[in-house]
Amino acid sequence: GENVEQHPSTLSVQEGDSAVIKCTYSDSASNYFPWYKQELGKGPQLIIDIRSNVGEKKDQRIAVTLNKTAKHFSLHITETQPEDSAVYFCAECNSGGGADGLTFGKGTHLIIQP
Amino acid sequence: NAGVTQTPKFQVLKTGQSMTLQCAQDMNHNSMYWYRQDPGMGLRLIYYSASEGTTDKGEVPNGYNVSRLNKREFSLRLESAAPSQTSVYFCASGRRGPPTNEQFFGPGTRLTVL
């Protein structure tokens, strides 16, 4: 991966509403797109990921969509709860390429208002 | 399983001092990584080890060295610390290979260089 843009940097939503975080990438060879949740003082935790051969993946209240043509992918959280408050990072890589490691976006601070 | 463990949790150094950050994983992963996280930034890859006996530079390797001691352990060394190395350091381990690069992170080491 080369570059990942993530928006917005801060997102405040009412409890029970949905939250959407978007990322764009530049490397057309990228084929693996994880999302991480980081709570204060802790390491990032993998919450969902998607491979390039899939357009959408869902896990309970969390879903990720991928548009390879437009080179963007999004995280959707429905029925938000206070415990969803955290910083969320998107990432990407070319898992079959010579370089290793993930390229991360700069993060979105999600605030759930009670 | 403890997952990925890191020591120490906190460290304060003076400019020019050296130290080694320790990382261990018990998930039998081949790949291990060191990232740094700075305020307002995502995580940036310092070094990685795709398998025991190999190490490679990431995006920001200057001022660091690494050692893959065995399959479980991957250490990061600062030979002569500089204030620009003040950061939170995360170790990760994972399974790499198409179509995934799933990585699991430790709790981090918070380093301050005065």
- Segment A67-80 mean pLDDT: 96
What pLDDT, on the 0 to 100 scale, is given for residue A54?
82
> Could you give the CA distance from residue A19 to residue A75 in angstroms, rounded to a whole number?
8
pLDDT at A98: 52
Whole-number percent of chain B with pLDDT over 90: 82
Cβ of B50 under 8 Å from any chain A Cβ? Answer: yes
Strand partners, A82: none
Mutate to test the interface with B, among A100, A104, A108, A109 (most CBs of B within 10 A): A100
Q: Rounded to whole angstroms, how far apart are CA atoms B111 and B85?
A: 8
Q: Region B5-14: what's the mean pLDDT?
A: 97
Q: Among partner residues B4, B43, B48, which is closest to A104 by beta-carbon distance?
A: B43
Report the amino acid identity of residue A34. Answer: P
Which structure tokens are listed for A71? 């080179």
How many Cβ contacts (< 8 angstroms) between chains A and B? 76
Cβ pair A101:B59 closer than 8 A: yes
Nearest to A66 by CA among A76, A77, A81, A79: A76
Q: What band does A77 get if pLDDT is binned at 50, 70 and 90?
A: very high
Residue whose tokens read 């959408």? A56
pLDDT at res. A97: 57
Residue A103, helix vs strand vs coil = strand
pLDDT reported for residue A1: 47
- Helix or strand or coil: residue A83? helix
Phi-psi region of A41 (alpha: psi -120 to 50; beta: other; left: phi over 0): left
Task: Kindly state the DSSP code that residue B52 receives in the 8-state scheme.
Answer: T
By C-alpha distance, which of A6, A36, A39 is closest to B102? A36
| Average pLDDT, rounded, for chain B | 93
| pLDDT single digits (tens) B62-103 | 999 999 989 999 999 999 999 999 999 999 999 776 667 789
CB-nearest partner of B99 from A42, A44, A95 = A95
CB A106 within 8 A of CB B42: yes
Please, what's the largest Cα pairwise distance for chain A? 46
B96 touches chain A (CB under 8 A): yes
The answer to whether the CB of B111 falls within 8 A of the CB of B85 is yes
Q: Does position B60 have pLDDT exceeding 90, yes or no?
A: yes
- pLDDT of res. A96: 64
pLDDT at B61 over 90: yes
In tens, the pLDDT along A26-62 reads: 988 888 999 999 999 999 999 999 988 889 999 999 9
